[in-house]
Amino acid sequence: MRRAARVLIACWYLIGATGCATFAVDSGAESSPFSHGVLAADHVIASRAGLEMLERGGNAVDAAVAASFCLAVVRPYSCGLGGGGFMVVHLAAEEPMPARNIAITYRETAPGGLHPEYYAQLGLPDASRIGPHAVGVPGTVAGLLYALENFGTLDRATVLRPAIRAAEKGFAIDADYVAAAREVLDDLAENPGWPDLIGRERFEWFHRRFLFNGEPKVGQVLHQPELGRTLRLLARDGEAAFYAGPLAHAIADACPAMTPGDLAHYEPRTSRPLTGAFRDRTIIAMPLPSSGGIALLQSLGLLERRRGDLDSTTSNSAGYVHLVVEAMKHAFADRAQWLGDDRYVDVPVATLLSDEYLSDLASRIDPQRTQPPDRYGNSVQLPDDDGTSHLSAVDQWGNAVACTETINLEFGSLTAIPEFGLLLNNEMDDFLTIPGQRNAFGLEQSERNQPEPGKWPLSSMSPTIVLGPDGRVEVVVGGSGGPRIISSSLQAMLSVLLFDASAQEAVSAPRFHHQWMPNVVQFEDSWVDGAVIEALGALGHEVGRREDVGVVQLIRRAGGGYSAASDPRKGGAPAGR
């Protein structure tokens, strides 16, 4: 599926009990520093849900979980209860507890009926990306409720209330929603067999509800009463309402490779985040199956080891772009060659992040010339994940959350569970589904990433927290946009750490992307400095254009508090107190 450029609109509408309440939002303005907490999401309704929890005395985890459940309602093409995600949590020191960092993985898993030859034997074109064969066991509900129960302070009913309100009372769709819906409509026009692959009854409900019968327009109101009832079940009964009983049976009945047991046995994983250092800061990043954490730490490690070259550049100058591109090419080459679900394959994480290895890679960077692709790695690529949403949160006590969630392609597998208002992911296309065949994004994948029951596919999602030399939260960042999550999050982070950019400057600046293969530096269409592009060409780079490079939500410490910004490429606005 194609990703169209998003258009920022100035107003968002939340339908309240007595009619339409309008919130004027200028996403181009830098937020004032907030001393009592702030949350930045890609929809203002979600940001306000997080703020509502902060105003009730909740912490950053409460705010993040409330915002995420709200995003499941207002960004159904990006994330939702039928998807999965990653969360990095920083809990500030509080006597007698020291500061703690936790990574929570609730990525979708391969169902029990899936095996490496499943799709080849099935023989149905597009079955790994469209329809019920593409669905992985959803993890979002388990992950969010685990975070709330173990690290939050408020009860489920309170935290789920904003999402229930948005689902039942409705909200007006914005330009980003319309663009996503039209992309799917274009794809459906090009693939007339998809409705049969999905199932006519389920497809017709999805088409009527989420695509507005093929005529989506800004301002139309999306009501989701079935999803509202599901959220009320979760508020009352917790995780069991999703992973057991009628709802679990409905999901399993819709998905041929899945059984109720796959859902009943799903568990999120908590682990220690990966950590690294950059300019006296501590970088807290997501471990596998996120490829983004390793790639970010490698890129930052290489740039730190080329500190003299980096310090002689200015923001988005030709020298700066070249150095960042060279670092990213090394990281993406290793990503392609080595990474997989570390419960199933051996991944040399310690070596990839070791001082000796990073110093060796850094020594290969030539400030005056790029290198041939074979100087960076082998010739395989890993998958993309486009329908994604990120939020960042900080509270008054210095706790922080970076949370990225997805259903993979926009609107996932296009497979609905109408009676519960759910859209299901198509995360199985993130595996190597048919050897030698490229995935939905034209990418060839490593055999380390073949499907097996219970296995997580790799992801580019890269929720990240940066601690300052004093141990306090300095930056919370993450994004959406497949492998461009890594490059966009890296550039936004560097804008703050190297050039002291404001939060809004960091997320709004034009960006570039290189993922090693294809061997092209892609500049956003908004990049107007032609001299930089020409200079990159003179350094041996092939250059090109694309509409956008990721969508970032960022919080940074500023003015005795925290300022925040939501990326204008998708819309949204932060909310704080």
How many domains does the chain divide into?
2
Distance separating alpha carbons of residues 33 and 446, to the nearest angstrom? 45
Task: Say if residue 26's pLDDT is above 70.
Answer: no
Q: What is the pLDDT of residue 45?
A: 98
| Residue 423 and residue 371 share a domain | no
Is 38:31 a contact under the CB 8 Å cutoff?
yes
What digits encode the pLDDT tens for the residues 273-299?
999 999 999 999 999 999 999 999 999
Q: What is the pLDDT of residue 418?
A: 98
Structural domain contains residue 458: no
H or E stretch at 4: none
Q: What is the pLDDT of residue 339?
A: 87
| Residue 183 and residue 86 share a domain | yes
Tokens 């020191």 belong to 93
Tokens 């948005």 belong to 166
| Residue 417 and residue 323 share a domain | no
What digits encode the pLDDT tens for the residues 421-431?
999 999 998 87
| Residue 340 and residue 197 share a domain | no
The range of the structural domain enclosing residue 227 comes to 11-270+387-449
State which of 421, 449, 477 marks the end of a domain.
449
Q: What is the pLDDT of residue 435?
A: 56
State which of 403, 424, 449 marks the end of a domain.
449
Q: Pick the residue with more confidence: 374 or 106?
A: 106
**Buried-exposed string 378-395: b where 16+ CB fall within 10 A, e elsewhere:** eebbbbbbbbbbbbbbbb
Supply angle C-alpha 379, 521, 326, rounded to 5.
Answer: 70
Bridge pairing between strands 269-271 and 387-395: unpaired
Distance separating alpha carbons of residues 285 and 489, to the nearest angstrom? 12
Structural domain contains residue 220: yes
Q: Of all residues in the chain, what percent carry a pLDDT higher than 70?
A: 90
Structural domain contains residue 260: yes
What CATH number corresponds to the domain at position 368?
3.60.20.40
Task: Say if residue 206's pLDDT is above 90.
Answer: yes
Q: What is the pLDDT of residue 18?
A: 28
Q: What is the pLDDT of residue 20?
A: 31
| Residue 252 and residue 147 share a domain | yes
Is 301:328 a contact under the CB 8 Å cutoff?
no
Q: What is the pLDDT of residue 29?
A: 54
Query: Could you tell me the pLDDT band of residue 473, with boundaries at 50, 70 and 90?
Result: very high
| Residue 131 and residue 217 share a domain | yes
Q: What is the pLDDT of residue 437?
A: 52
Task: Say if residue 246's pLDDT is above 60.
Answer: yes
Query: Could you tell me the pLDDT band of residue 1, with boundaries at 50, 70 and 90?
Result: very low
| Residue 436 and residue 370 share a domain | no
| Residue 505 and residue 398 share a domain | no
Structural domain contains residue 114: yes
Task: Say if residue 12's pLDDT is above 60.
Answer: no
| Residue 211 and residue 84 share a domain | yes
Structural domain contains residue 205: yes
Structural domain contains residue 159: yes
Distance separating alpha carbons of residues 230 and 241, to the nearest angstrom? 8
Q: DSSP label at 41?
A: -
Q: What is the pLDDT of residue 431?
A: 78
Q: What is the pLDDT of residue 30?
A: 58
Q: What is the pLDDT of residue 458?
A: 87
| Residue 429 and residue 379 share a domain | no
Structural domain contains residue 6: no
- Give mean pLDDT, residues 314-321: 98
Query: Could you tell me the pLDDT band of residue 7, with boundaries at 50, 70 and 90?
Result: very low
- Give mean pLDDT, residues 312-319: 97
H or E stretch at 177: helix 175-190
What digits encode the pLDDT tens for the residues 496-545?
999 999 999 999 999 999 999 999 999 999 999 999 999 999 999 999 99
| Residue 369 and residue 262 share a domain | no
Question: Positive or negative CA dihedral for 274, 428, 330, 346?
Answer: positive
Indicate the pTM of the whole model: 0.93
Structural domain contains residue 2: no
Supply angle C-alpha 431, 3, 320, rounded to 5.
Answer: 90
State which of 449, 479, 503 marks the end of a domain.
449
Query: Could you tell me the pLDDT band of residue 16, with boundaries at 50, 70 and 90?
Result: very low
Query: Could you tell me the pLDDT band of residue 321, with boundaries at 50, 70 and 90?
Result: very high
Is 568:28 a contact under the CB 8 Å cutoff?
yes
Distance separating alpha carbons of residues 454 and 344, to the nearest angstrom? 10
Is 456:291 a contact under the CB 8 Å cutoff?
no
Mean confidence (pLDDT) of the chain: 91
Tokens 């930045």 belong to 40
Task: List strand residue ranges (DSSP E) for 482-550, in order.
Answer: 512-513, 521-524, 543-546
| Residue 487 and residue 340 share a domain | yes
Residues forming the active site = 388
